Amino acid sequence: MLAYLARRLLTMVLTLLVISALVFVIIQLPPGDYLTTLIAELQSQGEQVAQAKIDFLRQQYGLDRPMIEQYGIWLWGFLHGDLGFSFEYNKPVAQVVGDRLLLTVLLNVATILFIYVVAFPIGVYSATRQYSWGDHGLTFLGLLGLATPNFLLALILMYLANVLFGTSIGTMMDPQFIDKPWSWAKVASVLEHLWVPVLVIGTSGTAGMIRRLRANLLDELQKQYVVTGRAKGLAAGRLLVKYPLRMAINPFVADIGSLLPSVVSGSVIVSAVMSLQTTGPMLLSALQSQDMYLAGSFLMFLALLTVVGMFLSDVLLAVLDPRIRLGGGAQR
Amino acid sequence: MNDPLPHYVDSAPFNVYETEHLTPQQERFYMAPQWRLIWWKFRGHVVAVAAAMILAAFYISILFSEVLAPYSRDTKHVDFIYAPPQSVHLFHDGRFVGPFVYGLKYQLDMETLKRTYSADRSKVERLRFFCLGEPYRFWGLVEGRFRLVCPAPGGQMFLLGTDRLGRDMLSRLIYGARISLTVGLIGIAVSFVLGISIGGVAGYFGGWIDAVVQRIIEILKSLPELPLWMALSAALPVSWSPILVYFGITIILGLLDWPGLARAVRSKLLALREEDFCIAARLMGASPRRIIGRHLLPNFMSHLIASATLSIPSMILGETALSFLGLGLRPPVTSWGVLLTEAQNIEAVALYPWLLAPMVPVILTVLAFNFLGDGLRDAADPYS
């Protein structure tokens, strides 16, 4: 188990290193560095920028060094919580993001939990009552859920809320709590508003999970040990929980590898559409104004979220499945 | 005892093919080439066939967008801003007139400043079919005026309403299909080439190449797609022409999609390269390129095509999402995502819900591709 953990931890760190290089390349992609943008902006406002100041800034941010060194400086700063400088807000990135990171984590974790909690009973029901009306209905709903892109779903829900109730659902908390320090009332308000985005982001993931759990469980239910168990007179519920469910639940948990990136993707666009107080809308505006350090930090953070999430799920899987912790590797 | 074991010999002439003789029906089935078996099996999936027909209709329509659309893409009707959808009637005052629409009466609500339109029941505007309408340039090249359907002379026909500049939504949808539907095809072509070559190399050579490719795939798969797409398309230079941006976006969509395909190619190749026919080809001195392309890939091409079909919708959705957010295609290029940017303002949508119309073709296309892909995947292995 320890060896497995160590190996997994090492791959995670390596993955993050590669991702950071990738993100850095993306930061550098737009022509010019952010100082040229800054200078252009200052000049357009009619301000003269002294050459000495430019040189000083250039040196301070290491922009006069070769690319690889700049990457080292950026990464080193990142590890120390210095996320770079947002020229759009004229503040260090760390101050700009505020509690958005926390809310993003909350939103994504809640969505993942929602998907598992909803998909599990429905998947089991669909598989054990295959081709019943309930199964057909749920399968159809699932297909619709899979095909409706979540940002369109968000639009439809917002439209319905606007027309039917005359309210706006596009927020993460009551307006009076925005940018205020955390308090119990704020937490309660966030939890109150959380369910709409969670529902919107989670729909397609839930539909996919139901389909997969149903298929896995159906495979297991046809196996001979189930027939044997039934022939020996084991009660149906006990038989299901004791054997096939335990087998089918493994790929269900392992699937988080494909679920997590799509949930994070979905949360970005849904929060941009619904203008939630998470990283999504800010990432969008940072990209639109080419505020690349801010955008890069968000990208890195989102990647970190997925990679760490996958690591945690792998650990969970190793606890569940002795074949993995004894070194067989995950069977996906 | 000269014959201890008497045995019987048939006097009829010996025919080696006798036992293998097949009835014509059997022969037709057993000797059918693979593609025909796939077709037979695919034909059985009613839903998949229906989906294929819908998609075929969509794709044929983009060849003749100019003819199908009642108006040109950018024609502005300044007198009909945010006009609601008109419905087509057949009977007027109990008398059969043929397909027609009632004229629109415009009022400005002075209190809410909302534009209200109502059907003017005295104006019967008959639709014309196969008519000469607004001039257009067919694919931007040939000038023409022939259209499938035109409004009555002096009348209007907004079957899906108009947008904030008074442009006909239906015409814009038809033109938007041209961009939205081809984005997925070009993207999938990029991803196909990348997936096959990278997965092929990894699977055929194995060893450290395989290990490296596997790690890259794992990393790419663990990244959330959409934020990366957003970042990459935001990095496209602003000075690029719309056509260049279009190709840039499709390539970005394809660049991140290949890992799934490469993984499928690799795992199949790993198994197949040990087969005798592969060793035989190698012994005869065929190059790896030829072995992969000529002997190995055709074995599971149908699978690849089926799984590629399943990943087209995610690209179409990707383009829609990017354009919707304003990071993808920009006007005057018109795709369904660009049309949906009009629906970003939820207050406008509440007043003019027909702005959401582009959702319908998006969802239809995605569903159709999913059903088609499912059917193809089932049919791809006709020998099972």
User: Which of A149, A287, A303 lies closest to B234 in CB terms?
Assistant: A287
- Sign, Cα dihedral of B303, B308, B311, B316: negative
Q: Which residues, 6+ apart, have CB-to-CB distance to A78 below 8 Å?
A: A20, A84, A297, A300
Chain B contact for A264 (CB, 8 A cutoff): yes
User: Which of A158, A268, A303 lies closest to B346 in CB terms?
Assistant: A158
User: Which of B223, B231, B347 lies closest to A295 in CB terms?
Assistant: B231
Report the residue of chain B nearest A309, measured CA to CA.
B222
Alpha-carbon distance A332 to nearest alpha carbon in chain B (angstroms): 13
Alpha-carbon distance B308 to nearest alpha carbon in chain A (angstroms): 16
**For residues B68 and B78, what is the distance between their CA atoms, to the nearest angstrom?**
23
Mean pLDDT of A186-197: 78
* A contact test, residue of B230, B232, B236, B256 with most A CBs within 10 A: B230
What is the token pair recorded at A161?
């809320």
Segments in chain B below pLDDT 50: none
Chain B contact for A182 (CB, 8 A cutoff): no
pLDDT number for residue B53: 92
Chain A contact for B212 (CB, 8 A cutoff): no
pLDDT number for residue B54: 92
Phi, psi angles (nearest 5°) of residue A192: -65, -40
Contacts B374 to A, Cβ<8 Å: none
Instruction: Give the three-state DSSP class for B128.
Output: strand
Contacts B222 to A, Cβ<8 Å: 15, 257, 260-261, 303, 306-307, 310
What is the token pair recorded at A311?
């690591």
**For residues B338 and B160, what is the distance between their CA atoms, to the nearest angstrom?**
16
Placement of tokens 């943008």 in the chain: A37
Q: A297, A243, A326: which is closest to A34 by C-alpha?
A: A297
- What confidence tens digit (pLDDT) does each residue in B126-148 have? 778 888 877 788 777 778 788 88
Q: Do B362 and A162 touch (CB under 8 A)?
A: no
Contacts B349 to A, Cβ<8 Å: 155, 158-159, 162
Chain A contact for B310 (CB, 8 A cutoff): no
| pLDDT of A27 above 70 | yes
Query: Helix A256-273 and helix A100-128: axis angle, to 10°?
Result: 120
| pLDDT of A330 above 60 | no
How many residues in total does chain B contain?
384
Chain A contact for B360 (CB, 8 A cutoff): no
Pick the most confident of A122-126, A254-258, B271-275, B325-329.
A122-126
User: Which of A151, A159, A287 lies closest to B353 in CB terms?
Assistant: A159
Chain B contact for A288 (CB, 8 A cutoff): yes
Chain B contact for A266 (CB, 8 A cutoff): yes
- What confidence tens digit (pLDDT) does each residue in A78-111 have? 777 776 667 667 777 777 777 778 888 888 889 9
Contacts A166 to B, Cβ<8 Å: none
User: Which of B223, B234, B363 lies closest to A303 in CB terms?
Assistant: B223
Burial of B348: CB neighbours in 10 Å, binned 0-12, 13-18, 19+? middle
Q: Do B344 and A273 touch (CB under 8 A)?
A: yes
* B contact test, residue of A16, A152, A159, A211 with most B CBs within 10 A: A152
**For residues A197 and A199, what is the distance between their CA atoms, to the nearest angstrom?**
5
Chain B from 325 to 344: CB within 8 A of any A CB: 325-327, 340, 343-344
**For residues B384 and A257, what is the distance between their CA atoms, to the nearest angstrom?**
30
Burial of B233: CB neighbours in 10 Å, binned 0-12, 13-18, 19+? buried
Chain A contact for B158 (CB, 8 A cutoff): no
- For residues A278 and A41, the model is more confident at A278
Task: Write down the pTM of the prediction.
Answer: 0.81
pLDDT number for residue A167: 66
Mean pLDDT of A41-52: 69
Alpha-carbon distance A221 to nearest alpha carbon in chain B (angstroms): 21
Chain A from 203 to 262: CB within 8 A of any B CB: 257-258, 260-262
- Report the share of chain A in percent with pLDDT over 90: 1
- Cβ–Cβ < 8 Å for A314, A26: no
When pLDDT is cut at 50, 70 and 90, the band that residue A332 belongs to is very low
What is the token pair recorded at B223?
């990244």
* B contact test, residue of A88, A105, A140, A155 with most B CBs within 10 A: A155
Question: What secondary structure does DSSP assign to A269-286, as a single string?
Answer: HHHHHTT-SSHHHHHHHH
* A contact test, residue of B47, B346, B359, B367 with most A CBs within 10 A: B346
Chain A from 139 to 168: CB within 8 A of any B CB: 143-144, 146-149, 151-152, 155-156, 158-159, 162-163, 168
Chain B contact for A281 (CB, 8 A cutoff): no
pLDDT number for residue A31: 66
- Cβ–Cβ < 8 Å for A134, A125: yes
Mean pLDDT of A69-73: 78
pLDDT mean across residues, chain A: 79
Phi, psi angles (nearest 5°) of residue B139: 50, 30
Q: Which of A4-13, A168-177, B58-67, B171-180 has the lowest average pLDDT? A: A168-177
